[in-house]
Amino acid sequence: MSSPYATLPEFEYARPSTLEEALKLLAKYGEEAKVLAGGVGLITFMLERLVSPRIVIDIKKIPELRRIEYTEGKGLVLGAAARISEITRYMDSNPRVREKYRALYEALSRIADLQIRNRATIGGNICEALPFMDSYAPLALFDAKLRIASVEGERETTITDFVKGPGFLDLAPNELLVSIELPDPPRESRSGFSKIVPAIEYSVASVAMLVANPVDPRSREVRIAVSAATPAPIRVREAEEVFRREGDIVDLLDAALDRMTSAIKELVIEDPYASAEYRLEMLKVQAYILFKRLLDSFLQERG
C-alpha cells in the first residue's frame, strides 16, 4: 500500500452523469477501464502500478449511485457510490435505522479516519476485495443483496458469492456494482461488530453478530459472520444452526462457537501480521465478548 512512484500512469478520464452512460463506457472499454468511486483504493493501486487502466470512469456524479434510503418493511438501500461518512451520518440522524443495522454502523464508523471516510464509498470498500474490508461481515450478517448491472441487464447476488478472495470478485469487466439492499433485520434484534487491529491499519479478525429474542427458544435467532481472518467473508451458518437446538441460548454458545471454529479452521489466513492460530482464537474470543455486549444491550433498553 505504498509506492516507489510519485506519479500516476497516464490515463483518460470520464465522468458520466447517468448510469446508462457509465455502463456503455464499461461495455466499450471492458478490461481497459477502471471504475473510480472515492479513489482511496484505486489511486494507490495505480501509484503502485498494480493497475494501469486506459480509462478511469468516475461514478461519483451519478445521482442514483449516491442514494441512501430506508423504507419501513423494505429495508435500507445504499447506492454503491454513497460515501462511508454519508451513511453513518444518515444513521446518526435516524437512530432507529442505526440500531436496526447496528453492526454495519459500528463497522463503517471505525474505518480508517474521518478524512478517508469522507471519500471512501461503500461500493469501493466492497469492490476493493481485500479480506479486511470492514463492510463485509455486517453485509453478510444482514443478508445484503448486491445489485450488479451491465448493458446486458441486471443481476442480484450476495456478498459471500460476490467476494471470492483477495483481489477476486464475481464481477465481469463490463459490470458495475449499483446498489446494496439490506432487508429489515428480525424485529427487536441487536447486532454488533468487533475487530482486532494489532499494530497495523487493518483488522486481522472481524466478527459481526446478531441476536433476536434471546430468551425465547422458539423465536430466537443468532447470526454470525466473520471476515478479515479468512480470504473472503463467511456467514457461519453451521454455528447459527446450533441455536436451533433445544435449551437455553447460553448453554448452546460454547457448542456454537466450537462449530464456528471447526467450520472455518482450514480457511484462516496466516501471514506476518497474525498467525492463523491467533486469528482463529480471536474470532472466538470476540464472539464471546460481543455476545455478552448484545445481551447487555437488551437489558439496557429495558432500563
Partner 1 sequence: MGGAVVREYRYIGKRIPPRDAFDKVTGIAPYVYDMELPGMLYVKLLQSTQPHARIKGIDYSKALSVSGVVAVATGRDFPFRIGIYVGDRDLLAIEKALWVGHPVAAVIAESPRAAEKALDLIEVDYEPLQPVFDPIEAMKPGAPLLHPDLGKYRISPAFKPRPGTNIANEFRLSKGDVDKGFSKASVVVEGEFSIPFMSHVYMETQAVIAHYKPNGYVDIWSSAQSPFSARYLLAMSLGMPVGRIRIHVPYVGGGFGGKAGLGWEPLAVMLSKKAGYRPVKLLFTRSEQMRLAPVVAGVKAWGKLGLDKEGRIVAYQARFIFDSGAFGDYTVNVSRTAGYACTGSYEVDNVECLSYAVYTNKIPTTALRGFGYPENHWVLERLIDMAAKKLGMDPAKVRSINLLKPGKSKTSTGARLREDAGDPQRVLEEVIGSLGWGREPSSTDKPWKIRAKGFALSVKGPSQPPDASSSAIIKFNEDGSVDVMVGTGNFGQGTVTSLAMIVAEEFGIPLDKVHVHEMRSTNDSAYTWQTVGSRGLFTDGSALLEAIKDAKSKIKRVASAVLRVSEDHLEIGDGKVYVKGKPWHYIPLERIVMGYLYENGNAIGGPIIGAGRHIAELNTFLDPETGQGTPTIFYTFGGTGVEVEVNVLTGEIKVVKAVQVFDIGKAINPLLVEGQMIGGFVMGQSRALYEELIFDEMGSVANPNLSFYYVARAKDMPDEWVLKIIETPQSDGPYGARGIGENVMIAVAPAIGNALYHGLSVDVRSLPLKAERVWRAIREQNPKLYKEALEAVKRSIRESYKKLREALVVAR
Ligand X SMILES: Cc1cc2nc3c(=O)[nH]c(=O)nc-3n(C[C@H](O)[C@H](O)[C@H](O)COP(=O)(O)OP(=O)(O)OC[C@H]3O[C@@H](n4cnc5c(N)ncnc54)[C@H](O)[C@@H]3O)c2cc1C
Segment interacting with partner 1, rule: CB under 8 A, options 15-23, 90-98, 118-126, 248-256: 248-256
Residue with the shortest CB distance to ligand X: 124
Closest among 170, 153, 173 to 161, alpha carbons compared: 170
Query: C-alpha angle 184/189/194, rounded to 5°?
Result: 100
**x/- track of binding to partner 1 for residues 276-295 (CB under 8 A):** --x--xx--x--xx-xx--x
Query: Is 201 within 8 Å of 44 (Cβ atoms)?
Result: no
Partner touching 50 among ligand X, partner 1, none, CB below 5 to 8 Å by kind: none
Partner touching 275 among ligand X, partner 1, none, CB below 5 to 8 Å by kind: partner 1
Among 75, 123, 185, 214, binds partner 1 (CB under 8 A): 214
Among 12, 254, 258, 270, binds partner 1 (CB under 8 A): 254
Angstrom CA distances, 216 to 220, 226, 249, 259, stand at 6, 25, 9, 22
Partner touching 80 among partner 1, ligand X, none, CB below 5 to 8 Å by kind: ligand X
Partner touching 255 among ligand X, partner 1, none, CB below 5 to 8 Å by kind: none
Rule CB under 8 A: which of 180-209 touch partner 1?
Answer: 196, 198-202
DSSP 121: B
80 binds ligand X (CB under 6 A): yes
- The strand pairing partners of 224, in sequence order, are 209
CB of 153 to partner 1, least distance (A): 38
Q: Residues interacting with partner 1, by CB under 8 A?
A: 1-7, 196, 198-202, 214-215, 248-250, 253-254, 272-275, 278, 281-282, 285, 288-289, 291-292, 295-296, 298-299, 302
Q: Residues interacting with ligand X, by CB under 6 A?
A: 34-42, 59, 80, 111-112, 116, 119-121, 123-125, 127-128, 133-134, 176-177, 201-202
